[in-house]
Amino acid sequence: MTDTLAMLPSGIDTYRQPVVYMHEDCHICRSEGFAAETRIRVDLRDRWIIATLNVVARGQWLAVEKAALSVSAWEALKAQAGDRARFSHPEPPVSSSAIRAKAYGGRLKREDFAAIIRDTLDNRLSDLDLAAFITASAGNRLDEGETVALTREMQAAGETLDWGSEAVLDKHCVGGLPGNRTTPIVVAIVAAAGHLIPKTSSRAITSPAGTADTMEVMAPVALDAAALRKVVEAEGGCVVWGGGLNLSPADDHFIRIERPLDFDSTGQLVASVLSKKAAVGATDVLIDMPVGPTAKVRSAQAAASLGSRLSSVGQAIGLRVAIHESDGTAPVGRGIGPALEAADVLAVLRRAPGAPTDLRERALDLAGRLLDLAPGAESGEGRAQAETLLDTGAAEAKFLAICAAQGGFHEPGEAPQRIAMTAGVSGYLTAIDNRLIARIAKLAGAPRQQRAGVRLLVRVGEGVEKGQPLYEIHAETTGELAYARVYAEAHIGALTLSEDTA
């Protein structure tokens, strides 16, 4: 079969971007005119994918008569070693003209977004195509109508859960604040109050831990839709990873491109958040928006603009959205990193001596607002109800029951390698740079290494003596510890001290 090639797995993880590897002297590669970065259609039995070609130079690891597939391509085709597949040029993506129009400042219609989403999920769009769309949509280049259309199409491309309930509560934090791990506490309180709160969360994109990363330290989070439904029907709530649920699936493709671009796009952020909330079946959503100079939302003006767009788009797609602005000037709690943040969560739920007060108060504020949103609730009484549920141990019991339903509870561990970073002068801690302290935690290995990260030992406003430990770096290996320490020593501005001259 001269028009086919035998396939083998490359073992190369390219995340969600399927990649094909061919030898530069491969007869199909030459005959079809394939070159590096060419988009190729691969057909195997009743399955097909669109993949990007990487060309292997002669004398290297791949034989001329074979093609290798990346992990995602191999899994998508359900291939087995030795299978022979056909390779051809795919039809041009229908949405190319819409992306080009947006790049030149045009306004897109709902059918344009539908075509972009469809081509994205079929991998017909290259990374360059997706980057062009995301760049053309950055800033405020998506108006409210376009944002509504994009949100609806992102939701429509996947499943939507139906709970048959008058009220399904949910919350989301726009991010940018290390350690702000209120979600597991809020879910436990709201579920203990008898309300439905099926919480799906993401893994970290640019932070040292996402909610799913932290929750995974304590319980399994990679549940499918049937398992999620079983947990929520039994316990009223869950905290699971949304990546395996086919809820707004195009969002994961967009995030993969947005991460290295680091663009601030109001329209796409709103579409990402609200499409997933609508898909999980929520009716009432509370958005936590930390505002601070080193948070994701850095000014009151930016917060007002984003909050207005979230509210109006939510209303357009049938969601009741409430905005909660919170202090984003410094990290929350003590831990930054999955296991360290999990320890803070458990300390609050267990009412442990020394539990982080700021994490407790933030969680109570959010849980109280959510309880006030429930139908029939007496406005303003939710905070007191949330505090009672936490202080009596009802929230802790509900959290452990949710963990058990998701597959079993596990205590967080601690990393074997640690080093304390100390104060160079005596004085007062006046500021913590959220971005720098998060970077140190990531260099230590978080979130991939669950026990890695940073533990803060001093809070803003507290006095310190010269040589006193300010924070600890936690790592799994001495190499990762040393790497993070070198960065920390070069960026002492992560923590700002006002020198005590008294």
- φ, ψ of residue 283 to 5 degrees: the values are -115, -35
Q: Which of 41, 46, 34 is nearest to 18 (CA)?
A: 41
User: 428 by DSSP, 3-state: which?
Assistant: strand
- How many CB atoms neighbour CB 60 within 10 A? 10
Report d(CA 412, CA 207) in Å as an integer.
Answer: 19
Tokens of 385: 């109800």
Q: Is the dihedral of CA 378, 380, 386, 387 positive or negative?
A: negative
Tokens of 203: 């893994």
Q: Cα 413 from chain centroid?
A: 23
Report d(CA 280, CA 68) in Å as an integer.
Answer: 37
CA distances from 12 to 71, 265, 347 (A): 6, 31, 40
Q: Cβ(212)–Cβ(221) under 8 Å?
A: yes
- 489, HSE (Cβ side, Cα atoms, 13 Å): 8
DSSP structure class, residue 280: T
Query: What b-and-e string marks burial along 405-427, b requiring 16 or more CB atoms within 10 Å of the CB?
Result: bbeeeeebeebebebebebeebb
Q: Which of 88, 73, 84, 2 is nearest to 40 (CA)?
A: 88
What are residue 197's DSSP bridge partners?
237
Q: For residue 148, what are the contacts with CB-CB under 8 A and spacing of at least 6?
A: 313, 316, 317
Strands 284-291 and 19-23, how do they pair?
A: unpaired
Query: Which residues are part of the catalytic machinery?
Result: 264
SS3 string, 354-394, reads: CCCHHHHHHHHHHHHHHHHHCCCCCCCCHHHHHHHHHHCCH
User: 38 by DSSP, 3-state: which?
Assistant: coil
DSSP string, 170-237: EEEE----TT---HHHHHHHHHHTT--EEEEEPPPSSSS--HHHHHHHHS-----HHHHHHHHHHHSE
Q: Cβ(369)–Cβ(286) under 8 Å?
A: yes
